Amino acid sequence: MRTSGKAGGGDHPLAALILITASMAMLVGIAAVVRGATMVGMDPLQIMFFRNFFCVVWMLPLLAWRGLSLVRTSQPGLYGFRVALSFISMLTYFQALAVLPVAEVTAIGFLAPIFGALCAIFLLGERVGIHRWAAILIGFAGAMIMLRPGGSAFGYGQIVALVSALTLGFIGPLIKQLTAADDADRIVFITNLVSTPISLVPALFVWVWPSLEMWLLLMLMGLFALLGHVALVRGFAVADASLAMSFNFSRLPFAAMVGYIFFGEVIDGWTWVGATVIFAAAVYITHREAMKARRASALQLKASGYDG
């Protein structure tokens, strides 16, 4: 946990599980604010701008503390690609939340780890064994048990949700690449700093001044975005991208709770069956990866002549 914010944070599966689970709770908070804002008529383009803007505002104290070092990077090309993918993923995600229930959007979004694992294999050269594939596929099966999407006809909402999941799958391995040279706080700050003016341009065409209550919710959304993405990047810094993506399934119990409390979605028995399957898969793969990390560490110590 102490090294997770640094570039090249190492291999710590348990820390990744904790960080990414915390991140998923924060990201569900974003979804709740977005759904509420669209239900009162705010356009997703404008919501996207406020999400980026307030994330930067919340990080200004960090900028004052670290100075210009927070925005210096040797990877401008990767950041450009990251911002472009984030723009597409965020916009399509917000568009989906405007027309579909949170539960269905969340279910479709769990295709992202499948895409992410493929990206990790082909872009990062990671070797993904059968156990990790099994965790990803079992977690996805749990998502389908829990949320059972498909109750409505396949249309615009499902298409944009699928595009969001696809681009989010690409973003996971890209974050892993960025953590090789930049710390978590720098990655989050640069991404949102660049995204803010870019997202402002389309927002101006649909601009409506928010009410006081909505300003407070949008500020809260920015805080959720900051905390969620700092924890997410730190999680990717201490685990392989494909493993970190498998922990995204922990978002489901949080989504079910938010859907029930704020939008009246009923939590039935199948929901908890699916959640149990998901957590069982995550706990299994975390335990196995932690055992592998300990064995590798022991072999390194033995090779160096340390006898304990």
- The rounded mean pLDDT for the chain is 80
3-class DSSP assignment, residue 44: helix
Question: What is the pLDDT, as a whole number, of residue 248?
Answer: 73
Q: Among 119, 112, 116, which Cα is nearest to 252's? A: 112
Q: Are 28 and 258 in contact (CB under 8 A)?
A: yes
Question: What is the pLDDT, as a whole number, of residue 255?
Answer: 81
Q: 50 pLDDT exceeds 60?
A: yes
3-class DSSP assignment, residue 67: helix
pLDDT band (50, 70, 90) for residue 49: very high
Distance in angstroms (rounded) separating the CA atoms of residues 130 and 167: 24
Question: What is the pLDDT, as a whole number, of residue 175?
Answer: 78
pLDDT tens figures, 266-305: 666 776 777 678 767 766 766 666 676 667 767 776 666 5
Question: What is the pLDDT, as a whole number, of residue 194?
Answer: 94
Number of other CB atoms surrounding residue 148 within 10 Å: 15
Q: Which residue has the higher pLDDT, 241 or 23?
A: 23
Per-residue DSSP letter, 7: T
Question: What is the pLDDT, as a whole number, of residue 219?
Answer: 95
Question: What is the pLDDT, as a whole number, of residue 92?
Answer: 95
Question: What is the pLDDT, as a whole number, of residue 90?
Answer: 92
Question: What is the pLDDT, as a whole number, of residue 83?
Answer: 92
15-19, 69-73, 235-239, 290-294: range with lowest mean pLDDT: 290-294
Q: Among 32, 34, 35, 49, which Cα is nearest to 207's? A: 49
Distance in angstroms (rounded) separating the CA atoms of residues 221 and 44: 13
- Find the mean pLDDT for residues 163-187: 82
pLDDT band (50, 70, 90) for residue 43: very high
Q: Which residue has the higher pLDDT, 3 or 82?
A: 82
Per-residue DSSP letter, 308: -
pLDDT tens figures, 115-170: 776 676 776 676 767 777 787 788 778 777 766 655 555 678 888 988 998 898 78
Q: Which residue has the higher pLDDT, 73 or 1?
A: 73
Question: What is the pLDDT, as a whole number, of residue 286?
Answer: 62
As a three-state string, the secondary structure of 135-191 is HHHHHHHHHHHHHCCCCCCCCHHHHHHHHHHHHHHHHHHHHHHHCCCCCHHHHHHHH
Give me the amino acid identity at 250. Answer: S
pLDDT tens figures, 78-121: 899 889 999 999 999 999 988 887 877 877 777 776 777 667 67
Q: 46 pLDDT exceeds 60?
A: yes
pLDDT tens figures, 194-235: 999 999 999 999 999 999 999 999 999 999 998 988 888 788
Question: What is the pLDDT, as a whole number, of residue 179?
Answer: 79
| pTM (two decimals) | 0.76
Question: What is the pLDDT, as a whole number, of residue 1?
Answer: 47
